[in-house]
A and B are shown apart, each in its own frame.
Chain A
Amino acid sequence: MTDSLGQQKPVNIKAQLQACRSKEETFKTLVTLSKTLPRLPTEEKTEENKVKGCESAVWLIIEEKDGLRYFKADSDAKLMRGVLVAILSLVEGKTLVDIQKMDLTAELAELNLSSYLTSSRTNGVLAILSKINTL
């Protein structure tokens, strides 16, 4: 299984985002994080892998191995790729049951990402969360 989070450790991602003191810092951190997300090859950017309801195009692929979930994702918007890195760092390598027990909205709020949930990207991020959570 490829490690879709590159070299970034989840703890690092959390610490980096929590250290942000302004919208601008969060923006810059997300841009930096976005660079760690391996881009999907064109053939995987299918309609089927597309998450509906996002303002930017988002593709999300879920793979299961030994009952654990691994994710690959991409977006045409850089900030969304940063947000994806943050979201996936929370759920990568967990079982579906464990993921479903998590309050992802609250965890993203802890990462200073609430505004990405409440802005017009709302539906998008919620759609991503719901895809992560489903069978």
Chain B
Amino acid sequence: MEYKVSLGPQHPALHEAVSLRMTLDGEVIRDADLKLGYSHRGIEKLAEERSYIQNIYLTERICGICSHSHTTCFTQGVEQLMELVPARRGLFIRTLIAELERVHSHLLWLGVAGQEAGFESFFMYTWRDREVVLDILEWISGNRVHYAMNIFGGVRRDIDELQRKKILDSLDLLKKRTDYYLNLAASEPTFVGRLAGVGKLSREDAIALCAVGPTLRASGIASDVRKDDPYAVYGEIPFEVATADSCDVLGRAVVRVKELISSYAMIEFLLKNLPEGPFKVKAPRKVKPNEVYSRYEAPRGENVHYIKSNGSDKPERLKVRAPTLANYPATIAMLKKGFIADIPLIFAAIDPCICCAERLVQLDDARRGDSRVLSFSQLRSMANERAKKIDFKKRKIAWPF
């Protein structure tokens, strides 16, 4: 007997307000369907009415977590249209901010994954350390969330010697804490056991459904725009693309932890090799008619902007494809054959943006014709109940660090 469940539109583990309809057979999800459009703001239309410079600030506000990703993607594209070569020091600072953003986004994600797996103190810990990264970003840019660092031809602000030292100091602290969490997670078999085997996405499916970012890399495919199509100064930085083969939520956690560690190394490299010289160059106001396709590896995956110019100071068309959108089909595939209790975890694994506020899930039981309303905490406690039943000793899953 099948029945339907609707989730959202105000759902905490989803990046945007999204409504999800699922067909269930007992506790197993048979089919899922997404309804979008609740947080549609008409950004692409607004972009056509604003000048390129205003659009930097508009694209920044597409997302509050990967704000730098969108502006960098946009700025890069427009710089290509302008045939402008940005200042080298500016590119270094831009990359630095990008990596800092990745660190804060992944720390945020780790905490959320911990919470969904029933490991609340982990959540508090990582969010405490996220504040360290936010402090660094605030020293550099003056804001905690929207850094507004990019301008055409470079960045808005320089980094001085004192800031450089301070960042390196804070980085040591972060590294120490990250090591501590790795050990913590490793010595906590329930945590690892809860994540393993949930939300399977096979290698073939990941390719067929065009998954991006850590979701793709956790299925064993080493695809990273920073490596495949280097932008800014990524061509010069030594780093490895992090992958995992387990194709599940644990794999996604592993990929993100590996990326955290490689991001620390990259930040250090960038700060140590920061070139002298100007950090911005002057940019023209008007852009010749042309079109460009700009790629960027955001913390959640490949971010794409398509920009078409028409010779004026406003773009004729801006098309944004954020990584989460690319991951939706894969999410549906992951949900199928999964359990209701795993929904929060699977969602959290692709993209956890707004996470703590609880919202409602309504269960309609077709057999009895009644409906039940579950709060998110009930859902979570169901998830924890299920986790308790797993015999962790039998499964022998080890934290791979």
A and B found bound together: no
Hey, which bits of chain B sit against chain A, CB under 8 A?
A: none
Hey, which bits of chain A sit against chain B, CB under 8 A?
A: none
